Amino acid sequence: MSHLTDLPAWAALGVCGLLLLGAATTLIGSLGLLRLTDFYERLHAPTIATSGGTILICLASMLCFAVLQSRWIFHEVLIILFVTVTTPVTLMLLGQAALYRDRFEERQGVPRKPKPERENSP
Amino acid sequence: MRTWFPYPLLSIALLVMWLLLNQSLAPGSILVGLFLGMVLGWVTLKLHPARSRLHRVSRAAGFALQVIADIIRSNIAVATIILRARRVPANAGFLTVGLDLEDENALALLACIMTATPGTAWLEYDRRQKILLFHVLDMQNEELWRGTVKRYEAALKEIFQ
């Protein structure tokens, strides 16, 4: 961490900007969980944090360590890859679970299950 | 070779990932990476994934750029909606659109893209009637959302089929 003083001013500014932007994006995403009212609406909020916030913070980290040349920057690439691939799976599961429950309880405003065709149904 | 590594590309990717995570080329790491690739290859074999052919890989780069641009745009749009949610309640709703994608991997990719994009969430795909049910946060323009999904579908179709 003591090497951080070696960072030139332009890089430090860039890293700061990216970090602040990423943190703000993550904060907005978390705020969304609080402010949006419906479960389905809340599904959209965490994707901001994962798609925007994580990538910006990882970019900041990449820029910092690329300029310092203290280590390889592939870890961040892997983080971005895994977060973008795994989050949708969780969200889809949550969405389907919510849909199933709401249909079971016959809540208003939730689309019905499409009628299965007779000849294809087992 | 096929019995040891049923999915060579997957095993190579796992090996490379393992070496990158460890950031070393020591014989021990390579050995563990090879073992990992082998075991997870067997596990994947048990899952019976559908194999699909990539036809126009050159189209994939343009499609990726388009998706990234869309994600950035919808990030900003959803952030504004959240920040204004106190005064203007979000105008969310369910939408359905007919899809004509056969390839399972293409469908999976489309699901990942749509859920990773803030503002759209994949909910349910009816395989028999080929109807996708999804949820959008901003219902201002239904046709615009349907058009976006159709655009993705066309691009994926071109790449996969």
The Cα–Cα gap between A72 and A111 comes to: 49
Q: Which of A25, A28, A34, A44 to mutate to test the interface with B (most CBs of B within 10 A)?
A: A44
> Which residue did the predictor score with more confidence, B110 or B90?
B110
Mean pLDDT calculated for residue range B99-114 = 85
- What is the DSSP annotation of A78-107? HHHHHHHHHHHHHHHHHHHHHHHHHHHTT-
Closest residue to B115, CB basis, from A38, A72, A88: A88
The Cα–Cα gap between B9 and B6 comes to: 9
Grouping H, G, I as helix, E, B as strand and the rest as coil, residue B123 is strand
pLDDT surpassing 90 at residue A17: yes
- CA-nearest residue to B137 within chain A is A41
Grouping H, G, I as helix, E, B as strand and the rest as coil, residue B128 is coil
Tell me the chain B residues in contact with residue A88 when contact means C-beta distances shorter than 8 Å.
111-112, 114-116, 122
Mean pLDDT calculated for residue range B98-121 = 85
**How far is A9 from chain B, CA to nearest CA, in Å?**
27
Q: Chain B: which residues have CB within 8 Å of chain A?
A: 17, 20-21, 23, 71-72, 75, 78-79, 82-83, 85-86, 89-90, 92, 94, 96, 111-112, 114-124, 126, 128-129, 131, 133, 135, 137
pLDDT of residue A114: 64
pLDDT of residue A117: 54
**Helix axis angle, A74-104 to B104-116, nearest 10°:** 90
pLDDT of residue A1: 52
Q: Pick the closest to residue A25 from A44, A49, A43 (CA basis).
A: A49
pLDDT category of residue A104 using cuts at 50, 70 and 90: confident
Dihedral in degrees, nearest 10, Cα atoms B78, B82, B87, B92:
60
String of b and e for B118-139 (b: at least 16 CB within 10 Å)?
bbbbbbbbeeeeeebbbbbbbe
pLDDT in tens, A38-93: 888 888 888 888 888 888 999 998 888 888 877 777 888 888 888 888 888 888 89
Grouping H, G, I as helix, E, B as strand and the rest as coil, residue B134 is strand
Tell me the chain B residues in contact with residue A40 when contact means C-beta distances shorter than 8 Å.
92, 94, 121, 123, 135
pLDDT of residue B84: 86
pLDDT of residue B159: 84
Give the bridge partners for B96, in sequence order.
B133
pLDDT in tens, B58-79: 788 888 899 889 888 888 888 8
CB contact under 8 A, A85 and B112: yes
Rounded to two decimals, the pTM is 0.80
> Which residue did the predictor score with more confidence, A112 or B20?
B20
**What whole-number percentage of chain A has pLDDT above 70?**
90
- CA-nearest residue to B133 within chain A is A111
CA angle B72, B77, A99 (to 5 degrees): 100
